[in-house]
Amino acid sequence: MAGMTARMKGRDRQVQRLILDVTDWARREDDVGALALVGSYARKSARMASDVDLVIVSAHFEQLAEDLSWFARLRPGSKLIHLQAWGPLLERRFRLRSGLHVELGLVSPAWTELPLDPGTRRVLNGGHVVLFDRHRLLSRAAKALRTRFRVTTGLRMKRSRQFLDTKAASAEGAEGIRNPTVRDPTAKAQ
């Protein structure tokens, strides 16, 4: 926390308490399968105006999104300021008394199933920290992302090498055409 303003240090402590409280709640709730911190706080690039983004995986995600009394018990005085559906993710945005915004993304376990939905990939690729994972749902999804990245990167590297090899072969052939005196020293004379 070196170089942080006193105000940002206070915000950071508030966020850490929030994360601990929501994680403890998730562990006590049998319906909650997983919890992840995503976005700028997960990437460790949060600013004073950053919100806290949490993804909650539950078979009863719609009920949690409808009856938000559980969050009101965790953060009394919080105010629901926005709700939206992003495909399979139900967003619930709160403003706490302190002014901190908390965005809850409520999803079913299907959100973590392979192959991953493009929205799931985007959210997890944007930075995530698994806080709780009862059935290893998020861990499997994260592993799939890492594997896909390695495979994709490996293919790109292989294609790049093939491209460079082709360019080199073309350059050798072109050199021979431009300068007919250049010959392959291993070739037999005819």
pLDDT tens per residue across span 99-134: 999 999 999 999 999 999 999 999 999 999 999 999
Minimal CA–CA distance to 61: which of 36, 19, 31? 31
pLDDT in the model for residue 171: 52
Mean pLDDT of 129-149: 90
Q: Would you list the domain boundaries of the chain?
A: 6-147
Amino acid residing at 58? S
**pTM over the 0.85 mark:** no
Fold for domain 6-147? Beta Polymerase; domain 2 (3.30.460)
pLDDT at 178 over 80: no
Biggest CA-to-CA distance, the chain: 93
pLDDT in the model for residue 160: 53
Minimal CA–CA distance to 70: which of 29, 30, 19? 29
Mean pLDDT of 137-158: 71
Confidence of residue 60 (pLDDT cuts 50, 70, 90): very high
